[in-house]
C-alpha cells in the first residue's frame, strides 16, 4: 500500500478487516515495525478521534508521531499554482508539503471542504498536493469528499457485531445484514465526506445497503454506485421514506450532510428525521451507529444514544485498528 485516501487503496476489504481484527487482538505484535519511523499528522481542521486514534495506532507500531495544526500553528498556505504571492499566504504548499516530507516517513492530512465551490472542494487539492509534493506516503485523515479510516472502522464494527456471523463476510454466502445510512437534522453545514465514504465501502461489503434522506440530499452518484469490486455495477438503494427504509435494518447509521446538488445548502431541519426509540422499533433490533461528534437530540435522541443499542464507542475504538492496519501495510512497503 502506497497511499490511503479511499476504498480504492484498500485492496481486498475482507482481508483488510481480518488483518485489522488481528491488530486489535495483538496490538503490540508489530512494535518493531515502526522503530525509527515518524508519522506526521497535519490538521487544517479540528479533530478528537482521528487525532488521538491515529497517534495511538502509530505508537502501537513503535512509530514516533509529530502533530501540527497547520491552520493555526503554521504559516498561511497558498495552494494555487502560478500566483503572485502578495497576499496573506506566506508559504506555498509545494514547499510546505516538501519540507514536511523531509521530516516524516508517512504524512496524514485532514482538510475539509470550504463550501465556496463544489468543483474545487471535490478536487481535494490539499490532499492531492501533499501526495504530489511530499515525496512520502500520504494517508487521508478526512478529505473534502471521503473519510476512509472512519469507514474502515465502521466496517470492522459491522463485521464484529453483525447478527448473522460470517466473519469476514464470505463472498456471497449466508444471509446478508441490512445496513441503513440515514440523513438526520443538524444546525450547521456539514460535509458529505462521511456518507460518501461509508457508501463506497458498504457497496463493496457483503451487506444490503440502503440510504434514506429527504429529497435534495442525493449524494454524488460516483460514491453511491460501484463500478468495481464485489458489487461492480451495483448502486445503493435510495428510499426517501425513512420509516420504510428502517424496516428490518440490522444497523442504523445516522449522519447529517449538506446538499450536494444545491452545494453546501441546508434544505431541511425536519426533526422527524431524528433517530428515536420509535424509529429504532421499526428495525430488526438494530445497532445504532454514528461517527461522532454527534449533536444529542438533534441527530439522535438521548434515549437511543444512552441505550445498549448504541455502538458509537465501539466504532470509535475501532478507529485505532483501522489506522493501525493501514499504517502497518504502508510501513511494510517502505
Q: For binding to ligand CP (CB under 6 A), which residues are involved? A: 47-50, 142, 150, 291-293
Burial of 66 (0-12, 13-18, 19+ CB in 10 A): middle
Rounded CA-CA distance 160/321 in Å is: 13
- Give min distance, CB of 241 to ligand CP, in A: 28
- Give min distance, CB of 296 to ligand CP, in A: 16
Rounded CA-CA distance 179/162 in Å is: 10
Rounded CA-CA distance 244/37 in Å is: 50
Beta-ladder partners of 40: 66, 107
Q: What is 276-299 written as a DSSP string?
A: -HHHHTTSSSPEEE--S---BTTT
Question: For ligand CP, which is the closer residue by CB, 47 or 235?
Answer: 47
- Give min distance, CB of 147 to ligand CP, in A: 6
Question: For ligand CP, which is the closer residue by CB, 150 or 196?
Answer: 150
Question: For ligand CP, which is the closer residue by CB, 198 or 223?
Answer: 198
Buried b (16+ CB within 10 A) or exposed e, 187-216: eeebbbbbbbbbbbbbbbbbbbbbbbbbee
Expressed in angstroms, the distance from the first to the final Cα of the chain is 9
Question: For ligand CP, which is the closer residue by CB, 50 or 60?
Answer: 50
**Pairing relation of β-strands 207-212 and 177-183?**
parallel
**DSSP letter assigned to residue 66:** E
For ligand CP, which residue has the nearest CB?
50
Query: Considering only CA atoms, which of 280, 282, 330, 269 is closest in space to residue 309?
Result: 280
Are the CB atoms for 17 and 156 separated by under 8 Å?
yes
Task: Give the three-class secondary structure for 291.
Answer: coil
**Per-residue cell: 53:** 486514534
Question: For ligand CP, which is the closer residue by CB, 55 or 159?
Answer: 55
How many C-beta neighbours within 10 Å does residue 10 have? 22
Question: For ligand CP, which is the closer residue by CB, 176 or 295?
Answer: 295
- Give min distance, CB of 150 to ligand CP, in A: 5
Q: What is 235-266 written as a DSSP string?
A: BPEEES-HHHHHTT-SEEEEE----TTTTT--
- Give min distance, CB of 44 to ligand CP, in A: 12
- Give min distance, CB of 224 to ligand CP, in A: 21
Question: For ligand CP, which is the closer residue by CB, 48 or 281?
Answer: 48
- Give min distance, CB of 316 to ligand CP, in A: 7
- Give min distance, CB of 200 to ligand CP, in A: 17
Give the gyration radius of the chain's Cα atoms: 20
- Give min distance, CB of 142 to ligand CP, in A: 6
Question: For ligand CP, which is the closer residue by CB, 49 or 178?
Answer: 49
Question: For ligand CP, which is the closer residue by CB, 205 or 294?
Answer: 294
Amino acid at each position: 500500500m502506497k497511499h490511503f485516501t479511499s476504498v480504492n487503496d484498500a485492496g481486498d476489504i475482507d482481508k483488510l478487516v481480518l488483518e485489522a481484527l488481528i491488530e486489535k487482538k495483538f496490538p503490540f505484535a508489530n512494535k518493531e515495525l515502526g522503530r525509527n519511523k515518524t508519522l506526521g499528522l497535519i490538521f487544517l481542521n479540528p479533530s478528537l478521534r482521528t487525532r488521538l486514534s491515529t497517534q495511538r495506532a502509530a505508537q502501537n507500531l513503535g512509530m514516533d508521531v509529530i502533530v501540527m495544526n497547520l491552520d493555526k500553528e503554521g504559516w498561511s498556505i497558498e495552494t494555487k499554482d502560478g500566483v503572485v504571492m502578495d497576499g496573506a499566504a506566506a508559504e506555498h504548499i509545494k514547499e510546505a508539503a516538501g519540507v514536511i516530507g523531509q521530516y516524516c516517513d508517512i504524512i496524514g492530512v485532514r482538510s475539509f471542504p470550504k463550501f465556496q465551490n463544489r468543483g474545487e472542494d471535490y478536487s481535494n487539492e490539499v490532499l492531492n498536493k501533499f501526495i504530489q509534493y511530499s515525496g512520502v506516503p500520504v494517508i487521508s485523515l478526512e478529505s473534502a469528499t471521503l473519510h476512509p479510516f472512519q469507514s474502515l472502522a465502521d466496517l470492522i464494527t459491522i463485521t464484529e457485531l453483525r447478527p448473522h456471523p460470517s466473519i469476514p463476510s464470505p463472498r456471497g454466502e449466508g444471509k446478508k445484514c441490512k445496513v441503513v445510512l440515514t440523513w438526520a437534522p443538524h444546525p450547521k453545514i456539514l460535509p458529505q465526506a462521511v456518507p460518501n465514504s461509508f457508501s463506497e465501502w458498504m457497496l463493496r461489503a457483503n451487506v444490503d445497503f440502503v440510504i434514506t434522506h429527504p429529497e435534495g440530499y442525493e449524494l454524488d452518484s460516483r460514491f453511491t454506485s460501484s463500478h468495481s469490486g464485489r458489487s461492480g455495477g451495483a448502486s445503493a438503494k435510495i428510499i426517501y421514506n425513512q420509516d420504510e427504509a428502517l424496516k428490518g435494518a440490522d444497523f442504523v447509521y445516522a449522519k447529517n450532510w449538506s446538499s450536494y446538488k444545491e452545494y453546501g445548502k441546508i434544505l431541511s431541519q425536519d426533526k422527524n428525521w431524528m433517530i428515536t426509540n420509535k424509529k429504532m422499533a421499526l428495525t430488526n433490533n438494530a445497532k445504532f451507529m454514528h461517527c461522532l461528534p454527534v449533536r444529542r437530540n438533534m441527530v439522535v435522541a438521548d434515549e437511543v444514544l444512552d441505550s445498549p443499542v448504541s455502538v458509537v464507542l465501539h466504532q470509535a475504538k475501532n478507529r485505532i485498528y483501522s489506522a493501525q492496519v493501514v499504517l502497518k501495510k504502508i510501513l511494510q512497503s517502505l
